[in-house]
Amino acid sequence: MAYAPIPSPAREFTASRRLAALADALDPHTFAALAALRGPAPRLCLELGAGTGSVARRLAEQFPRARVVATDLAEPPARSPLGNLEFVRHDVRCDGFPEGKFDLIHVRYLLCDLVERDRILHDMVSWLAPGGRLVVEEPDHSPVYDSPHRAYRTVTLAMVEAQHRYVGTDSLWARELPAHVAATGLTDIATHRTSTTVATGSPMARYWRLSLAELRPLLPPGLDIPAALREADSATFRDHGFTTVRVSAVRRG
């Protein structure tokens, strides 16, 4: 069943705050990983499902001589903040790019939501130039399953289930991300896992709350949401939330 939320300014406001909270939680880790990249500077970079565009901007700043193409399903911003950064509307499920075009492709928190994720991963590899690098970062929700916070765990797992049912999200696909990337034939595979803690006031806690607000109409009746919110609001609350699995790999030859 497709999830077709009724468009409304309030929902769009929540969705954009949610994207911003996610970027706040993940950007420090992503930026550090991009800064640590070795090898020749890329000349053409692709950022897929760019969201707020924060990673695309960082790529354009880090590689000022490169051109960065940032895509999203959403309407691109009227004006790009940087001369070497271009935003384009693009549906990665059906819009392609020429083979061998990009020196660096980065994608974060996109494939988990797309049922065509395995085929798209192979497409992305075909868009890499020889010697080009792919960096994929996707969420693995497995730490939620054994969270010691019962109300938080129950509600979060109901959110995971609703996203699976209405969007097609696979919240455990990233658990096997290194194997998925290896299956594409890329080499020099490096894997990293980052915990993005949910704690009072943390960006990930903001993301969790905004996700709950968004998904609430889709959750089953009888869930004790107030108890989960009380738990997560406690000053001592700390939970792994989910981990981000990052895989970096190179197209040889």
Q: Pick the piece of the chain touching ligand SAM (CB under 6 A) from 109-117, 124-132, 145-153, 173-181.
A: 109-117
241 lies in the site for ligand SAM, by CB under 6 A: no
Nearest residue to ligand SAM, by Cβ distance, number only: 51
21 lies in the site for ligand SAM, by CB under 6 A: no
184 vs 211 by CB, closer to ligand SAM: 211
132 lies in the site for ligand SAM, by CB under 6 A: no
Phi, psi values for residue 107, rounded to 5°? -140, 140
Amino acid at 91: D
66 vs 167 by CB, closer to ligand SAM: 167
Size of the residue set binding ligand SAM (CB under 6 A): 20
Please identify which residue in 34, 110, 198, 205 interacts with ligand SAM, judged by CB under 6 A.
Answer: 110
List the alpha helices (DSSP H) in 167-217: 177-182, 203-215
Residue of 68, 48, 52 lying closest to 120 (CA atoms)? 48
Residue of 203, 5, 166 lying closest to 158 (CA atoms)? 166
109 lies in the site for ligand SAM, by CB under 6 A: yes
228 lies in the site for ligand SAM, by CB under 6 A: no
71 vs 248 by CB, closer to ligand SAM: 71
Q: Give me Rg for the CA atoms of the chain.
A: 18
User: Other CB atoms closer than 10 Å to residue 121's CB: what's the count?
Assistant: 21
Residue of 95, 72, 70 lying closest to 80 (CA atoms)? 70
Residue of 104, 97, 85 lying closest to 40 (CA atoms)? 104
12 lies in the site for ligand SAM, by CB under 6 A: no
32 lies in the site for ligand SAM, by CB under 6 A: no
Please identify which residue in 21, 42, 46, 51 interacts with ligand SAM, judged by CB under 6 A.
Answer: 51
102-108 and 44-48 as β-strands: parallel, antiparallel, unpaired? parallel
Smallest distance, ligand SAM to C-beta of residue 99, A: 19
Please identify which residue in 57, 58, 71, 163 interacts with ligand SAM, judged by CB under 6 A.
Answer: 71
User: Other CB atoms closer than 10 Å to residue 203's CB: what's the count?
Assistant: 20
Which regions of the chain does DSSP assign to beta strands (E)?
Answer: 44-48, 67-72, 85-89, 102-108, 128-140, 187-195, 198-199, 238-239, 243-250
Q: Pick the piece of the chain touching ligand SAM (CB under 6 A) from 19-27, 62-70, 171-179, 223-231.
A: 19-27
Q: Which residues bind ligand SAM (CB under 6 A)?
A: 19, 22-23, 26, 49-52, 71-74, 90-93, 108-110, 114
